[in-house]
Structure 1
C-alpha cells in the first residue's frame, strides 16, 4: 500500500502537468504548421550552411535548425516541432513538482501541483508562445530539472547525477539562450570541485553555436546598438518595469502579449501570482542557510535586477556600449528572457507556502479540508491571474496550411547548381493571406534546399535594427535599385524567389527581373534562375557537423545513462523486498 501511494504521489504531478499542457497547447493538436512571428515549422527543412550556423547572420537558431533538418527527413517537420513544444510545456510543470519534492521534505501532492502551475501558467510562457520562441521554452522547461540534477549531484548522486545533468544541459542547448540559462543554474548549485565537469558539459552543449560564431565570423561581429532599447523589458499597465518583470511579464514586443496583460488587469494578475509565491518567503528565509535555497534566491534576484536595470536609461547606455565593443554581446539584448532564472525559486516558494498553510491548519493523518482547499485555491488564483493562456493563448496559436506552391518551388531548385536564394519582398518578416495579421518569419530559409540570404534586419516599433548579414543587405540593395542580374551572380545569387502574396517591409513585391530563367510560377510564388553564378568556396561543414555530433552525443549519452539507471533500480526492487 505504501509503495502504491508513493507511486501515485510521483505520477500525479506528471499527469496533472500533461493535462495543463494540453489546455495550453489547444489548437495546435489540429493539422497544420506552427507559423507565428519567430516560430517557423515546415514539412521538411534542409541541412544547409545556414542551418549549421555558417551563414552571414549570428547563429541564433543553432543547433535547432540542424536538428530539425535531420528529424524532418524522417518525420514531418511540423509534427516534430509540435511534439517538442508540447513536451516542453508538459515537462516544465512536472520538473517543478520534482524539484520541490526533492527540496521540501515530506511535501504533499497538492503543493507540488501548485509549483507545477506556477511554472506552466504565467505571462512568460504566454508571451514566449506568442513571440514564437518555442525552442526557448525547451530551455525554460529544463531549468527545474537542471536544478534538481545539480542539487542531487551536490549531494553525491554520482554517475546518475551526471547523466541527468547531461540530459538537462543537452536539451536546453537546443538554442544558445537555453544553454546559457541551464548552465547558470547548474553552476550556482554544484560544488566547486564539480565545476570542471559542468564546464566541460557546457562547452560540449554550446559547441554548435560557439563554433558557428567563430567559423562564420559572426562571433567577431558587433550588433546594432539600436537593438538594446528596442529589446529592453517593457512596463505593463499599472506596473513599473520591475513589477512587470517580477510578475514574469514585460516582453519587449507589446504585440506578443495576452489581452489580459494589456489593461489594468495586468496589475491584478501580477498581484495574484506574487501573492501565491510570497506566502512561502518566510519559510525560505528560515532555510537561508541551505546552499541550494540561497543560490536559487541570489540567481532570481540577480536576474530581476539585471533585466530591470537594463531597461533604464543608464542600463540602455551600458548595453549599447557592450554590443558595440564586445562581439557576440547581442545575445544578451532581449533582457526579459533571462527572468526565466526566477522561476525555480517561485515554484519552490509557492509550494513551501502552500505546505506551510496546510501544516498550520491540518492535523497529521487526520481528514481536513485544508489539505485539498489550500492547493486548490492557490491553483485557482494562478489560473485566474492569466485567464487567456487557455487554448493556445486565446486561439492565437493556430496551425496554418502552406500552399502546395512551396513544395513545388523546393523541388524546382537543383541542389547540384551553385548559388544562394534571395527573396522578394526583402526583409525577414512578412504577412501571408494564410497566416493572419501577425507578421511571421519568412519560411523560405527552412523550406528551401539552398541557403537563403537574409540580412537579419528587424523592423520594430522603435525603428530599425540592423542585422549582421552584410552580403544579404548588399543583394537586397541591388534588387531594390534594379541592378543587372550579372551583379547578382557576382554576389553568388543563384535563384530569386518572389512571394507574390506576401506583404513585406516595403509592401507587396513589385520587381522587374530581366535576363533570368523562370523555373516556376503561380499565384503564390515565382522562382527564377540567375545565370552565370560561379561556384562558391566550401564552408567548413565537417567541423560544424562534428560540433553538432558532440552536442547530440551528450544528450543521447545522458538519456541512455539515465534509462540504464532506472532499469537497474527497478530490477533491484524485488530483490530488496
Structure 2
C-alpha cells in the first residue's frame, strides 16, 4: 500500500480537479474534442497536431465506451504524473515522495494546459518523470515504455520529452567502476569480453546513453514527424506575438513563468490565480523548491532509494540524484524558450521565417514542463531536509491551497455534456456515403461556442467526427493587449477553400467541388451557403451535398 500511495494521491487529486467533468457525456473545451464513434482515419493535410492522439482514441473507443476513454485518459494524467514524480525522489520516505507527487499533479502549468484542452500534451508531461528515470536506469525497452504516453500524445508531448531526455542522458555520470547504467556489474547488451573488449575504445557514459535514447525518440516521433514533413503546412511568424507568454499576475511575465503560469490564453487561467496572494505564494513555493533542488548532490547509483548522508544534526544530508544536472539544464532551456517570445520575439520570428519547423517554439510556455518537474523534486528535497512530518503534510496540502479553484472542474469550466442527436445523425449520413471527397465545415472559423456546451469555446467537433477529410479554417484570431492578431492558416487546402468561399455565391459549389469537396456542413442559423442538395436540415445543423465538378 505504501508504494501505491503516490498513485492513489494522484487519483484523489484527479477526482477533485475534474469533478463534474467525470459525469455522463464529453468534456469539450478548446483543443479537447472527443466525439461519439470516432473514425479511424489517417492524418490529412495540414500540420498533424492531433497525430497520433486521435487515432489512439479511436482505437480505444472501438473496445471501450468513448466517454469512458476520455475520463480514463484525464484521470490517468494525474495518476501518472504523481506516481512518476514520486519515483524520482531520492528518498525511501513517504513524506517527500508525496510532496513531489502533489506538486507535480496540481500546479498552474498543468491546470492552464488542461483548461486549454491540451490533454495530449499532458500525457507527455505526466510521463516525463518516468522517462527521466528510464534514462538513468538505462535500457532502450525501459525508455520506450516510459515514452509511450508522450508518443500517444503526439508532437507537443514528444517535444517536451526531447527537451529533457537528451539533457539527462548526457549528464548522468557513469558508475565509478565503469559499469553501464543497466546492470551494476557493468555487463550489458553489446559489451564484449576478454582481449577484444579491452581493445575496444570505451564511449563516455553520456554519449552511450544519448546513443541509446536517440533511436527510441526518433522512432516514437515518426507518427507525427513524417506527416509534418510531408504536409506542406506553413507557419506564420505573426504567431510569435499571439502565443507569447503573458503576465497572469502582478509580478509580470517573468514572475508568472517562475510560478509555472503565463499561458497566452487568458481564458485558460485558473480563477483567482492572478491575485497577489496566489501569485506571491506560488513564487515563494518556487523559491523553496529551487533551493531544495540545489541542495541535491549529483552522482550516485541511479537505483539507490536513499543516497543522502547524515549531516551530524540528526537530519539527512544532501541526497544524490544522477539526473540533477540534466534536469536543471532542461528546465533552464525550457524557461529560456518561454521567455524568448515575450522578451526577444524578433529572434523567434527570424528563425520561423528561415524554417517553419521552428513554429512549435511560438507557444514557449509549453516548455516549462521540466521546470515543473524540477520544482516537484526540489520541494521533496526541502521536505527531506527538514525531516518533519508536519512539513511533509504542509507540502502536500500547499499546492491545492494555492490553487483551490482548480477543483471541481475549475469551478465548472470543465463539465461533461452530450452531443445533440442531430450530430450523430449527420455523422451517420456522411460516414455511410460511398462516394469519396472531403467535407467543408462552416461557419468559416476554427472554434465554436454551443449553447448545449454551456457556451464554452471548443474547436469545431466536425474536424474529428467524420471518416473523410474535413476542411476547416485553421486560421486563428487571438486577442492581445495591443489588439487582435490574425495568424494565417497552415493547411494549403484550407487556404484554397477560403479563396473559393470569397468568390461569387453561385460559383462557390463548383469551385469547392473542384477542390474535392463532397459535403458542406453549416449551422442552420447561418444558412448562407447557396447551391447543392440539402440532405439534412435540423435545428442546428444543415448538410449539403455538392455535385461532381463538370
Q: What TM-score comes out, normalization by structure 2 length?
A: 0.85
User: What do residues 217-264 of structure 1 show as CA deviations (whole Å, max 9, x unaligned)?
Assistant: 23xx3x111100110111122112121111110000011101112333
| Alignment pair present for 1:334 and 2:355 | no
Q: Determine the C-alpha separation between the residues in 1 that align with 2:148 and 2:55.
A: 14
| Alignment pair present for 1:357 and 2:399 | no
Identify the residue that residue 210 of structure 2 maps to in structure 1. Answer: 195
Q: Determine the C-alpha separation between the residues in 1 that align with 2:393 and 2:274.
A: 27
SS in 2 for 1:440: strand
Identify the residue that residue 490 of structure 2 maps to in structure 1. Answer: 468
**Alpha carbons of structure 1 residues 330 and 483: separation in structure 2 relative to 1, 3 Å:** farther
1:479 alignment partner, one of 501, 505, 523: 501
Q: Determine the C-alpha separation between the residues in 1 that align with 2:63 and 2:324.
A: 43
User: What do residues 506-533 of structure 1 show as CA deviations (whole Å, max 9, x unaligned)?
Assistant: xxx240412x111111101111110115
| Alignment pair present for 1:135 and 2:114 | no
Identify the residue that residue 24 of structure 2 maps to in structure 1. Answer: 31
| Alignment pair present for 1:284 and 2:284 | no
RMSD: 2.0
State how many pairs are aligned.
487
**Alpha carbons of structure 1 residues 355 and 291: separation in structure 2 relative to 1, 3 Å:** closer
Q: Determine the C-alpha separation between the residues in 2 that align with 1:14 and 1:64.
A: 24
Q: Determine the C-alpha separation between the residues in 1 that align with 2:519 and 2:147.
A: 39
User: What do residues 115-166 of structure 1 show as CA deviations (whole Å, max 9, x unaligned)?
Assistant: 011101110111011100011110000111111111111xxxxxxx432211
Q: How big is the shift at 1:192?
A: 1.4
Identify the residue that residue 165 of structure 2 maps to in structure 1. Answer: 186
Identify the residue that residue 415 of structure 2 maps to in structure 1. Answer: 398
**Contact map agreement 1:455 1:470 (CA 8 A) in 2:** no
| Alignment pair present for 1:324 and 2:353 | yes
Q: Determine the C-alpha separation between the residues in 2 that align with 1:283 and 1:10.
A: 25
Q: How big is the shift at 1:344?
A: 2.2
**Contact map agreement 1:276 1:378 (CA 8 A) in 2:** no
1:488 alignment partner, one of 501, 506, 512: 512
Identify the residue that residue 300 of structure 1 maps to in structure 2. Answer: 331
Q: Determine the C-alpha separation between the residues in 2 that align with 1:148 and 1:527.
A: 51
Task: For 1:165-564, list aligned pairs within 5 A.
Answer: 165-173=143-151, 174-190=153-169, 191-218=206-233, 221=234, 223-284=235-296, 291-312=322-343, 315-358=344-387, 370=388, 372-413=389-430, 414-461=432-479, 462-481=484-503, 482-484=505-507, 485-500=509-524, 509-514=526-531, 516-533=532-549
**Alpha carbons of structure 1 residues 524 and 245: separation in structure 2 relative to 1, 3 Å:** same
User: What do residues 501-560 of structure 1 show as CA deviations (whole Å, max 9, x unaligned)?
Assistant: 5xxxxxxx240412x1111111011111101158xxxxxxxxxxxxxxxxxxxxxxxxxx
Identify the residue that residue 539 of structure 1 maps to in structure 2. Answer: none
Q: How big is the shift at 1:21?
A: 1.6
**Alpha carbons of structure 1 residues 282 and 293: separation in structure 2 relative to 1, 3 Å:** closer
**Alpha carbons of structure 1 residues 319 and 376: separation in structure 2 relative to 1, 3 Å:** same
1:71 alignment partner, one of 37, 45, 60: 60
User: What do residues 30-82 of structure 1 show as CA deviations (whole Å, max 9, x unaligned)?
Assistant: 1000210111001122133xxx3331x21111111122222223333332122
Q: How big is the shift at 1:277?
A: 1.2
**Contact map agreement 2:243 2:264 (CA 8 A) in 1:** yes
5+ residue gaps, structure 2? 170-205, 299-317
SS in 2 for 1:455: coil
Q: How big is the shift at 1:292?
A: 1.6
**Contact map agreement 2:78 2:126 (CA 8 A) in 1:** yes
Choose between structure 1 and 2: higher helix proportion.
1
SS in 2 for 1:496: strand
| Alignment pair present for 1:46 and 2:26 | no
Moved more, 112-121 or 431-440: 431-440
Identify the residue that residue 549 of structure 1 maps to in structure 2. Answer: none
Q: How big is the shift at 1:266?
A: 3.9
**Contact map agreement 2:262 2:365 (CA 8 A) in 1:** yes
Q: Determine the C-alpha separation between the residues in 2 that align with 1:14 and 1:401.
A: 30
Moved more, 472-481 or 398-407: 472-481
Identify the residue that residue 147 of structure 1 maps to in structure 2. Answer: 132
Q: Determine the C-alpha separation between the residues in 1 that align with 2:547 and 2:384.
A: 71
Moved more, 185-194 or 420-429: 185-194
